[in-house]
Chains A and B, each alone.
Chain A
Amino acid sequence: MAAMLTRDELAGALVQAGQGDRSAFRIVYEATSAKLLGVCLRILPDRQTAEDVLQDTYLTVWRKAESFDPSRASPITWLVTIARNRSIDRLRSAAPMRRAVPVEDAHDLADDAALASETIEQADEVGRLNTCLEQLEDKARGVIRTAFLEGVTYDALAQRENVPLGTMKSWIRRGLMRLRSCLET
């Protein structure tokens, strides 16, 4: 069903939703809910919880759409950030649970998936990020990606990789700084 919208069309619909236009909001939902559920499902352990958080995410989107500024943020970035943060909040509010797969397995998952943008144009950002990720050491690249996709903390990452917390922090911090200077050149 996912309607194919350009970035500008999606941004326009989101702005209209911010003005209380429910049919525009429906368009936003149709175009992005599959992607956002995918994001939630990477972080949360089961489909029911993920759909619950997805619902919560869109209610937040409806409420906050008024503050979306298309000149400052891409609509899909804005939406993904809300879905991801909501999912992580839910994950961390729900005491201990969760599988502990080694990061390596997560890499396999990631590598299988197409890196191409499926729907809404995000190609520029994706291309830039991938170019810059290639410049990182394998370790740093892997853990940053896992942290983003699964929403896990330094502590959890250090345990999974079986390294001291300080080592994990150092990998990620240095990786982030290299990434950032690459992304901004």
Chain B
Amino acid sequence: MTDPTTDDPGPDDARALAGELALRVLSPDEERAARARERSDPAFAAEVEAWNTHLAAFAAEVRGVEPSPLVWPRIQAAIEPAANDNGRLGFWRGWAIGSTGLLAASLVAVAVLIARPAPVPEPAPAPAGGITRVATLTLSEGGAPAVTIAYDTVTGNLFIAPTTAIAASAGVPHLWLVRPEGGVQLIGAIDGAEASRRTLSEALSGQAGTATAVAISLEAPGTTPPPTEPQGPVVASGELQQL
């Protein structure tokens, strides 16, 4: 349904679609397609953001309603620090509390670590039956989509597709799994410009099946960070979801 007064409906169509996406009027199928475009097309993503800004003004007419005093303590409990509070720890912790349900999982994980102080704890079983897990990593600065990954829990195949080149001059991009119990696990250096594919080792593939998120840090060229501790800045991250 293009505006008949417009000679070139192309950009207008994109703009209207971005508006429909921001307004959330699309059907589930249309919305999925538009979200995919938002992730892969920065100009379109910027349109969606512009619409969000314009439309949010509608909220001015919404009357505020004080939440129950129980809400804040629940939030506070979920963001309690594990240790000290520098920015990087804050970041990882932030991911670790992504879902309150994960708290229980983290207790189990701690128990496993205590019971079996082996160097590589038995990975929690990934869902059986060939689950594909996907994530879109967005840049920490600006939130533009940077990398899409897809992971097959049965074969251990990991597909990594950068959508915008990660500032490679500042360092070598390294991919990390964010574990449900907190903390991170290094997968390795990745190609920040071209799509690539690798098969994860057995130890890693279990963790990739349960990780809550993935992140990319930029590490100094020629160095390899400790497997659980990035040394460089985290430049992109995204939640892992089941396809």
Contact = CB atoms under 8 A, between A and B. Distances in A.
Interface string B47-71: 0010111111111111111111011
A122 B59 CA distance: 10
A130 to B, nearest CB: 8
B19 interface: yes
B57 A34 contact: no
Chain A interface main SS type: helix
A176 B67 contact: no
A34 B67 contact: yes
A153 interface: yes
A49 interface: no
A30 B12 CA distance: 40
A182 B17 CA distance: 18
B54 A153 contact: no
Interface in A4-39: 19-22, 25-26, 29, 33-35, 37-39
B141 to A, nearest CB: 7
A149 B62 contact: yes
Chain B, interface SS category = helix
B15 A116 contact: no
Contacts of A69: 141-143
Contacts, number: 190
Contacts of A119: 64
A157 B141 contact: no
Contact of A177 (B16, B23, B53, B74): B16
Contacts of A39: 59, 62
Contact of A77 (B12, B52, B75, B138): B52
Contacts of A76: 56, 59
B53 A29 contact: no
Interface size class of A (residues with CB under 8 A): 35 or more
Contacts of B193: none
Given A38-B62, A55-B74, A180-B15, A125 B53 contact: yes
Contact of B71 (A20, A51, A74, A183): A51
Interface string A118-132: 110010011011100
A149 B58 contact: yes
B226 to A, nearest CB: 21
B178 to A, nearest CB: 11
Contact of B66 (A34, A67, A147, A151): A34
28 contacts: A2-B64, A20-B90, A20-B94, A34-B66, A37-B67, A54-B71, A59-B75, A59-B78, A62-B97, A66-B94, A67-B139, A69-B141, A69-B142, A73-B49, A77-B57, A80-B59, A88-B24, A113-B61, A113-B63, A117-B60, A118-B63, A118-B64, A122-B60, A126-B57, A149-B62, A153-B27, A176-B23, A177-B3
Given A59-B100, A116-B60, 19 more contacts: A1-B66, A34-B64, A34-B65, A35-B59, A55-B78, A73-B52, A77-B53, A81-B56, A110-B61, A113-B62, A114-B63, A115-B61, A126-B57, A147-B23, A148-B55, A170-B1, A173-B1, A176-B19, A177-B12
> When A and B form their complex, which 4 residue pairs have the shortest distance between CB atoms, in order from nearest?
A20-B90, A34-B64, A129-B57, A77-B56
Interface of A: 1-2, 19-22, 25-26, 29, 33-35, 37-39, 41-42, 51, 54-55, 58-59, 62-63, 66-67, 69, 72-74, 76-77, 80-81, 84-85, 88, 92, 110, 113-119, 122, 125-126, 128-130, 144-145, 147-149, 151-155, 157, 166, 169-170, 172-174, 176-177, 179-180, 183
